[in-house]
Amino acid sequence: MKEIVLDTETTGISVREGHRIVEIGCIEIDNLISTKKKFHCYLNPERKVSEKALEVHGYTDEFLKDKKKFKEIAEEFLSFIEDKRLIIHNAEFDLGHLNNELKLIGKKEIQNEIIDTVVLARNKFPGSANSLDALCKRYKIDNSKRVQHNALMDCELLAKVYINLLDQKEPKLEFNNSDIAPSEILKNKVLYFKKIIKPTSDEIKRHNDYLKKELKKNFFN
């Protein structure tokens, strides 16, 4: 199943105060494996970045002033996410800003199925910290390069967190042949081992006999 891991950065917290999106990052995964497809853009928010937001992501007004406006990338963005399930950390925030941007240009709100990894984390670890950094630390995911927030980097980290929240091992497969669909690779690969296979009594006996013979020590009398 194809899903989109999505993150945004903004000029501030509340759309009610007129805050806008300055960055969108998306990566596509198929059955929890990256397809290598990404969508990423910086945006001219047509307003100033708040001091608090600047501390979070570091995108200055000067840096953003020559970037595209949301209306210029809206169709490309919507074509990328299509109707795929969206994986978002604190979905209410990102969706609120995305739907506000869509509303400003006369488009419908996002109707995709949403999985909020904050909710997953709260259900799995009640009372524990559930920020992206906290979850990376919990699952020993290297986030040392995350000095400031970056939508695309955060998506890559979130994809790993999401896999762990689902109690799955992180897939290690690499796609060297772009012509092979991930779904075809999955047919021939076992990604996760959850069943413990115990030896039979006959196998245990033969193993013990082998140890007696090879080690020449009778530990089993």
Active site residues: 149
Question: What b/e sequence results for 59-94 when a residue is b if at least 16 CB atoms lie within 10 Å of its CB, and e otherwise?
Answer: beeeebeebeebeebbeebeebbeebebbbbbbebb
Beta bridge partners of residue 24, listed in sequence order: 8, 41
Residue 37 amino acid letter:
K
CB atoms within 10 A of CB 151: 22
* Alpha-carbon span 10 to 54, nearest angstrom: 9
List CB contacts of 86: < 8 A, sequence separation 6 or more.
3, 4, 5, 6, 110, 112, 113, 114, 115
Residue 87 tokens read as: 């994986």
38 in helix, strand or coil?
strand
Burial of 12 (0-12, 13-18, 19+ CB in 10 A): buried
* Contact in structure between 10 and 47 (CB atoms under 8 Å): no
